[in-house]
Protein backbone atom coordinates (compact mmCIF):
# COMPACT_ATOMS: atom_id res chain seq x y z
CA UNK A 1 0.00 0.00 0.00
CA UNK A 2 2.84 2.41 0.85
CA UNK A 3 4.39 1.77 -2.57
CA UNK A 4 1.09 2.47 -4.33
CA UNK A 5 0.71 5.74 -2.43
CA UNK A 6 4.27 6.74 -3.33
CA UNK A 7 3.64 6.16 -7.03
CA UNK A 8 0.39 8.14 -6.83
CA UNK A 9 2.22 10.99 -5.10
CA UNK A 10 4.94 11.02 -7.76
CA UNK A 11 2.35 11.30 -10.53
CA UNK A 12 0.41 14.04 -8.73
CA UNK A 13 3.58 16.03 -8.11
CA UNK A 14 4.59 15.82 -11.75
CA UNK A 15 1.24 16.85 -13.18
CA UNK A 16 1.09 20.40 -14.44
CA UNK A 17 0.54 22.71 -17.38
CA UNK A 18 3.78 21.70 -19.09
CA UNK A 19 5.60 25.00 -18.44
CA UNK A 20 8.39 23.13 -16.64
CA UNK A 21 8.48 20.29 -19.12
CA UNK A 22 11.78 18.47 -19.48
CA UNK A 23 13.18 16.61 -22.46
CA UNK A 24 14.38 13.38 -24.00
CA UNK A 25 17.84 12.16 -24.98
CA UNK A 26 17.35 9.27 -27.39
CA UNK A 27 20.50 7.30 -28.30
CA UNK A 28 20.62 4.86 -31.20
CA UNK A 29 22.67 2.23 -29.37
CA UNK A 30 26.24 1.12 -29.88
CA UNK A 31 29.16 2.98 -28.34
CA UNK A 32 28.50 5.74 -25.84
CA UNK A 33 31.49 8.09 -26.13
CA UNK A 34 32.19 10.31 -23.12
CA UNK A 35 31.28 13.41 -25.15
CA UNK A 36 27.83 11.98 -25.89
CA UNK A 37 27.18 11.10 -22.24
CA UNK A 38 28.45 14.51 -21.12
CA UNK A 39 25.97 16.08 -23.52
CA UNK A 40 23.18 14.11 -21.82
CA UNK A 41 24.33 15.21 -18.37
CA UNK A 42 24.51 18.83 -19.50
CA UNK A 43 21.07 18.62 -21.08
CA UNK A 44 19.71 17.39 -17.76
CA UNK A 45 21.35 20.21 -15.80
CA UNK A 46 23.31 17.62 -13.82
CA UNK A 47 25.63 18.87 -11.08
CA UNK A 48 28.29 16.95 -9.11
CA UNK A 49 26.52 14.97 -6.42
CA UNK A 50 23.29 14.56 -8.39
CA UNK A 51 22.27 10.92 -8.82
CA UNK A 52 21.29 9.44 -12.18
CA UNK A 53 18.47 6.88 -11.99
CA UNK A 54 19.31 3.99 -14.30
CA UNK A 55 16.53 1.57 -15.29
CA UNK A 56 18.08 -1.77 -16.42
CA UNK A 57 14.86 -3.70 -16.93
CA UNK A 58 15.33 -4.25 -20.67
CA UNK A 59 18.35 -6.45 -19.97
CA UNK A 60 18.45 -10.14 -19.13
CA UNK A 61 21.43 -9.27 -16.92
CA UNK A 62 20.39 -6.09 -15.09
CA UNK A 63 23.36 -5.98 -12.71
CA UNK A 64 25.80 -6.07 -15.61
CA UNK A 65 23.74 -3.43 -17.39
CA UNK A 66 23.94 -1.13 -14.37
CA UNK A 67 27.70 -1.62 -14.15
CA UNK A 68 28.26 -0.93 -17.86
CA UNK A 69 26.13 2.20 -17.76
CA UNK A 70 27.82 3.41 -14.57
CA UNK A 71 31.17 3.10 -16.35
CA UNK A 72 29.86 5.11 -19.31
CA UNK A 73 28.65 7.90 -17.06
CA UNK A 74 31.85 7.78 -14.99
CA UNK A 75 33.89 8.36 -18.15
CA UNK A 76 31.78 11.47 -18.68
CA UNK A 77 32.41 12.71 -15.13
CA UNK A 78 29.40 11.33 -13.22
CA UNK A 79 30.11 8.68 -10.60
CA UNK A 80 26.67 8.75 -8.94
CA UNK A 81 24.45 6.27 -10.79
CA UNK A 82 21.84 4.18 -8.99
CA UNK A 83 20.27 1.13 -10.59
CA UNK A 84 16.50 0.94 -10.09
CA UNK A 85 15.50 -2.46 -8.73
CA UNK A 86 12.56 -4.48 -9.96
CA UNK A 87 10.19 -4.06 -8.33
CA UNK A 88 11.45 -0.62 -7.25
CA UNK A 89 12.05 0.04 -3.58
CA UNK A 90 10.75 3.07 -1.69
CA UNK A 91 14.21 4.61 -2.05
CA UNK A 92 14.08 4.00 -5.80
CA UNK A 93 10.69 5.69 -6.09
CA UNK A 94 11.92 8.64 -4.06
CA UNK A 95 14.86 9.05 -6.44
CA UNK A 96 12.60 8.81 -9.50
CA UNK A 97 10.55 11.63 -8.05
CA UNK A 98 13.45 14.07 -7.80
CA UNK A 99 16.31 13.06 -10.12
CA UNK A 100 17.22 15.27 -13.05
CA UNK A 101 18.07 12.30 -15.30
CA UNK A 102 16.34 8.93 -15.75
CA UNK A 103 18.14 6.58 -18.14
CA UNK A 104 16.73 3.41 -19.76
CA UNK A 105 19.29 0.79 -20.72
CA UNK A 106 19.41 -1.47 -23.75
CA UNK A 107 18.17 -5.00 -24.25
CA UNK A 108 14.63 -5.96 -25.21
CA UNK A 109 12.05 -3.18 -25.38
CA UNK A 110 9.15 -5.55 -24.78
CA UNK A 111 10.82 -6.70 -21.53
CA UNK A 112 11.28 -3.09 -20.41
CA UNK A 113 7.69 -2.15 -21.22
CA UNK A 114 6.26 -5.22 -19.50
CA UNK A 115 8.30 -4.53 -16.36
CA UNK A 116 7.24 -0.89 -16.27
CA UNK A 117 3.58 -1.82 -16.56
CA UNK A 118 3.87 -4.58 -14.00
CA UNK A 119 5.32 -2.05 -11.56
CA UNK A 120 2.72 0.58 -12.53
CA UNK A 121 5.39 3.11 -13.45
CA UNK A 122 4.32 4.36 -16.90
CA UNK A 123 2.67 7.45 -15.32
CA UNK A 124 5.85 8.12 -13.32
CA UNK A 125 7.89 8.61 -16.51
CA UNK A 126 5.37 11.14 -17.81
CA UNK A 127 5.30 12.89 -14.43
CA UNK A 128 9.10 13.15 -14.48
CA UNK A 129 8.96 14.71 -17.94
CA UNK A 130 6.32 17.19 -16.80
CA UNK A 131 8.31 18.30 -13.75
CA UNK A 132 11.35 19.07 -15.92
CA UNK A 133 13.51 15.92 -15.82
CA UNK A 134 15.44 14.56 -18.78
CA UNK A 135 14.61 10.96 -19.76
CA UNK A 136 17.24 9.25 -21.84
CA UNK A 137 17.77 5.81 -23.23
CA UNK A 138 19.82 3.76 -25.62
CA UNK A 139 18.82 0.99 -28.04
CA UNK A 140 15.74 -0.64 -26.46
CA UNK A 141 15.60 2.38 -24.17
CA UNK A 142 15.26 4.54 -27.29
CA UNK A 143 12.58 2.44 -28.99
CA UNK A 144 10.13 2.91 -26.11
CA UNK A 145 10.05 6.72 -26.27
CA UNK A 146 7.27 6.92 -28.86
CA UNK A 147 3.64 5.86 -28.40
CA UNK A 148 4.33 3.15 -30.98
CA UNK A 149 7.38 0.93 -30.44
CA UNK A 150 8.88 -1.44 -32.97
CA UNK A 151 9.56 -4.80 -31.34
CA UNK A 152 11.85 -5.99 -34.15
CA UNK A 153 9.82 -9.19 -34.55
CA UNK A 154 7.92 -10.19 -37.69
CA UNK A 155 4.76 -12.16 -38.35
CA UNK A 156 6.17 -13.57 -41.58
CA UNK A 157 9.54 -14.68 -40.18
CA UNK A 158 9.98 -17.24 -37.42
CA UNK A 159 13.48 -16.09 -36.41
CA UNK A 160 14.63 -12.64 -35.36
CA UNK A 161 16.79 -10.73 -37.82
CA UNK A 162 18.59 -7.40 -37.44
CA UNK A 163 16.62 -6.13 -40.44
CA UNK A 164 13.56 -7.50 -42.21
CA UNK A 165 15.02 -8.26 -45.63
CA UNK A 166 11.64 -7.33 -47.14
CA UNK A 167 8.98 -4.60 -47.05
CA UNK A 168 5.68 -6.38 -46.54
CA UNK A 169 2.19 -5.70 -45.26
CA UNK A 170 0.93 -7.35 -42.08
CA UNK A 171 4.45 -8.25 -41.06
CA UNK A 172 6.00 -5.89 -38.49
CA UNK A 173 5.02 -6.31 -34.85
CA UNK A 174 4.56 -3.26 -32.64
CA UNK A 175 3.71 -2.56 -29.03
CA UNK A 176 2.61 0.49 -27.07
CA UNK A 177 5.55 2.63 -25.99
CA UNK A 178 5.71 5.26 -23.26
CA UNK A 179 4.42 8.04 -25.53
CA UNK A 180 6.94 10.59 -24.23
CA UNK A 181 7.95 11.79 -27.67
CA UNK A 182 4.29 12.31 -28.56
CA UNK A 183 3.80 14.28 -25.33
CA UNK A 184 6.41 16.75 -26.59
CA UNK A 185 4.64 17.18 -29.94
CA UNK A 186 6.48 14.77 -32.24
CA UNK A 187 4.64 11.83 -33.83
CA UNK A 188 7.53 9.56 -34.78
CA UNK A 189 8.42 5.89 -34.51
CA UNK A 190 12.02 5.48 -33.34
CA UNK A 191 14.38 2.83 -34.68
CA UNK A 192 17.93 2.32 -33.41
CA UNK A 193 21.29 0.99 -34.75
CA UNK A 194 19.79 2.33 -37.94
CA UNK A 195 22.57 2.80 -40.48
CA UNK A 196 24.88 0.21 -38.87
CA UNK A 197 22.20 -2.48 -39.37
CA UNK A 198 20.65 -1.05 -42.55
CA UNK A 199 17.11 -0.91 -41.21
CA UNK A 200 15.56 1.03 -44.07
CA UNK A 201 13.13 -1.83 -44.68
CA UNK A 202 11.84 -1.50 -41.11
CA UNK A 203 11.38 2.25 -41.51
CA UNK A 204 9.44 2.00 -44.76
CA UNK A 205 7.26 -0.73 -43.29
CA UNK A 206 6.48 1.46 -40.28
CA UNK A 207 5.61 4.41 -42.53
CA UNK A 208 2.96 2.27 -44.20
CA UNK A 209 1.73 0.65 -40.99
CA UNK A 210 1.43 3.81 -38.89
CA UNK A 211 -0.27 6.59 -40.90
CA UNK A 212 0.53 10.05 -39.61
CA UNK A 213 3.81 8.99 -38.03
CA UNK A 214 7.31 9.86 -39.17
CA UNK A 215 10.15 7.40 -38.58
CA UNK A 216 13.43 8.47 -36.99
CA UNK A 217 16.28 6.09 -37.74
CA UNK A 218 19.01 6.89 -35.19
CA UNK A 219 22.46 5.45 -35.83
CA UNK A 220 24.89 4.22 -33.21
CA UNK A 221 26.83 6.68 -30.99
CA UNK A 222 24.25 9.30 -31.99
CA UNK A 223 21.33 10.89 -30.16
CA UNK A 224 18.33 13.11 -30.66
CA UNK A 225 17.93 15.63 -27.86
CA UNK A 226 14.29 16.73 -27.70
CA UNK A 227 13.67 19.80 -25.56
CA UNK A 228 11.52 22.94 -25.23
CA UNK A 229 12.61 25.96 -27.24
CA UNK A 230 11.47 29.16 -28.91
CA UNK A 231 10.69 29.43 -32.61
CA UNK A 232 10.19 32.99 -33.83
CA UNK A 233 9.15 34.01 -30.35
CA UNK A 234 6.62 31.19 -29.98
CA UNK A 235 7.05 28.17 -27.68
CA UNK A 236 8.10 25.10 -29.60
CA UNK A 237 9.81 21.75 -29.18
CA UNK A 238 13.20 21.22 -30.80
CA UNK A 239 14.81 17.92 -31.81
CA UNK A 240 18.57 18.35 -32.10
CA UNK A 241 21.08 15.79 -33.36
CA UNK A 242 24.05 15.10 -31.05
CA UNK A 243 26.97 12.72 -31.48
CA UNK A 244 29.18 11.12 -34.10
CA UNK A 245 26.67 9.67 -36.56
CA UNK A 246 23.51 10.50 -38.44
CA UNK A 247 19.75 10.43 -38.17
CA UNK A 248 17.57 9.42 -41.09
CA UNK A 249 14.23 11.19 -40.77
CA UNK A 250 11.46 9.72 -42.90
CA UNK A 251 8.60 12.19 -43.37
CA UNK A 252 4.97 11.13 -43.45
CA UNK A 253 4.47 9.93 -47.07
CA UNK A 254 2.02 11.59 -49.43
CA UNK A 255 0.04 8.37 -49.66
CA UNK A 256 0.06 4.73 -48.65
CA UNK A 257 -2.25 3.03 -51.17
CA UNK A 258 -4.52 0.32 -49.87
CA UNK A 259 -2.66 -2.99 -50.05
CA UNK A 260 -3.43 -5.17 -53.03
CA UNK A 261 -1.14 -7.99 -51.97
CA UNK A 262 1.69 -8.53 -49.48
CA UNK A 263 3.90 -5.79 -50.96
CA UNK A 264 3.99 -2.34 -49.32
CA UNK A 265 3.37 0.57 -51.67
CA UNK A 266 4.21 4.17 -50.78
CA UNK A 267 4.30 7.39 -52.82
CA UNK A 268 5.93 10.71 -52.10
CA UNK A 269 8.36 9.38 -49.50
CA UNK A 270 10.82 12.08 -48.43
CA UNK A 271 13.72 11.77 -46.05
CA UNK A 272 16.30 14.00 -44.40
CA UNK A 273 19.80 12.89 -43.48
CA UNK A 274 20.79 14.85 -40.38
CA UNK A 275 23.98 15.08 -38.34
CA UNK A 276 25.31 16.87 -35.26
CA UNK A 277 23.83 20.35 -34.81
CA UNK A 278 20.93 19.83 -37.22
CA UNK A 279 17.49 20.54 -35.76
CA UNK A 280 13.81 19.93 -36.41
CA UNK A 281 11.19 21.98 -34.59
CA UNK A 282 7.48 21.64 -33.98
CA UNK A 283 5.13 24.37 -32.73
CA UNK A 284 2.12 23.09 -30.75
CA UNK A 285 -0.78 22.51 -33.10
CA UNK A 286 1.41 22.37 -36.22
CA UNK A 287 3.07 19.47 -38.02
CA UNK A 288 6.88 19.34 -37.78
DSSP-assigned letters across all residues of the chain: -HHHHHHHHHHHHH-S-STT--EEEEE-SS---HHHHHHHHHHHT--TTPPEEEE-TTSSSHHHHHHHHHHHHHHTT---EEEPPSSPPHHHHHHHTT-SEEEE-SS-HHHHHHHHHHHT-HHHHHHHHHHT-EEEEETHHHHTTSSEEEEEEESS-SS--SS-SS-BTT-EEEEE---HHHHTT--EEEE-STTTTT-HHHHHHHHHHSTT-EEEEEPTTEEEEEEEEEETTEEEEEEEEEESSEEEEEPPPSB-PPPSSSB---BS--EEEEETT-EEEE-TTS--
Provide mean pLDDT across the span 220-227. 98
pLDDT at residue 48 greater than cutoff 90: yes
pLDDT of residue 285: 59
pLDDT of residue 117: 98
158: pLDDT confidence band, cut at 50, 70 and 90? confident
- Domains detected in the chain: 2-282 (3.40.50.880)
pLDDT of residue 220: 98
- pTM attached to this predicted model: 0.92
pLDDT of residue 283: 78
> What is the percent of the chain where pLDDT is above 90?
85
Provide mean pLDDT across the span 17-40. 88
Please indicate whether residue 4 or residue 225 has the higher confidence score (pLDDT): 225
Amino acid sequence: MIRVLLIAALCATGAGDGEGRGGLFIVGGGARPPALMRAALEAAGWQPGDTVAFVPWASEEPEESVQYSAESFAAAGCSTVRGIAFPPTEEDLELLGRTKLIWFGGGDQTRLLAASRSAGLDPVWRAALDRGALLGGTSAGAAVMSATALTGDQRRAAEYSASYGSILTDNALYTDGFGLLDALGFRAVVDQHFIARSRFDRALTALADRPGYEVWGIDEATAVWVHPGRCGGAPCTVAEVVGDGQIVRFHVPEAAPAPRDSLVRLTGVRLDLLAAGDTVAVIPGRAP
